[in-house]
Structure 1
Amino acid sequence: MADMDTALKQAMQIDGAIGVALVDYTSGMALGTVGGGKELDLTVAAAGNTDVVRAKLRAMELLALKETIEDILITLDTQYHLIRPLTGRAGKGLFIYLALNKARANLAMARHQLRSIEEDLDV
């Protein structure tokens, strides 16, 4: 089992990673971040993507969908933004947010690696 810091560092090893955060979507606060910088303010991204997660959960509730969100993908001109809600009991209310450089990333591989990191994460 990996702790938060180890998991965030592993996520930054994914090809094309710009920044990663572990976010509490009940408060919008980033519990931990790695990367980002001038190119990406991870604190602002954490708060903004909290709204995305809440909106999707609300829509699923209104639609009476009994599914869980595996991940949410936002595709920009030069970046991919992956949001992966944690599925374990200890991770309830948390998500991993990963921004990738689109030209350097392999989206399928990034999703696979992020899934593995999430499965091994002990919060």
Structure 2
Amino acid sequence: MVNIDIAMKDAMTVNGALGVALVDLASGMSLGVLGGTDDLDLAVAAAGHTELVRAKLRTMEMLGLEGAIEDVLITLTKQYHLIRPLTSHTGGGLFLVLVLDRARSNLAMARHRLKQIEADLDL
């Protein structure tokens, strides 16, 4: 098991990683941020992605869908935004956002690595 700091540093080793944030779904606030650029404010991205995750959870409830969100992928012209809700009993209500440079990343490998990081994270 690893702590938040180590998990975020691990996420930044993913090829093409621009930034990572651990976000509280209830408030939309970032509990931890690493990376980012002048053009990428991770706190703003985290707040926006909170609304997206909430909307998907509401939609799943209205449709009577069972199960949970495994991950959400947003593809932009130059970036991927990969959102992964935490599934551990201590991580409920939190999610990771990993922002990747689309030209330098391998999406399948990034998803696989973020899944590992989420599984190893101990809060």
Same fold (TM over 0.5): yes
The number of residues matched between the two structures is 123
Residue matched to 1:43:
43
Q: Distance in 2 between matches of 1:69 and 1:88?
A: 13
Q: Distance in 2 between matches of 1:97 and 1:39?
A: 16
Q: Extract unaligned runs of 5+ from structure 2.
A: none
User: Aligned to 1:5, what secondary structure does the other structure show?
Assistant: helix
Q: Distance in 2 between matches of 1:38 and 1:22?
A: 19
Residue matched to 1:83:
83
Residue matched to 2:107:
107
Residue matched to 1:9:
9
RMSD over equivalenced CA pairs, Å: 0.5
Q: Distance in 2 between matches of 1:97 and 1:51?
A: 13
Q: Per-residue CA shift, 1:73-115, capped at 9, x if unaligned?
A: 0000011000000011100000000000000000000000000
Q: Deviation of residue 37 (structure 1)?
A: 2.7
Relative to the length of structure 2, the TM-score reads 0.99
Q: Deviation of residue 67 (structure 1)?
A: 1.4
Q: Distance in 2 between matches of 1:33 and 1:101?
A: 17
Relative to the length of structure 1, the TM-score reads 0.99
Instruction: Please show how residues 64-83 of structure 1 align to structure 2 within 5 Å.
Output: 64-83=64-83
Residue matched to 2:30:
30
> Which consecutive aligned stretches of 4+ in structure 1 deviate over 2 angstroms post-superposition?
none
Residue matched to 2:61:
61
Residue matched to 2:92:
92
Q: Distance in 2 between matches of 1:67 and 1:117?
A: 21
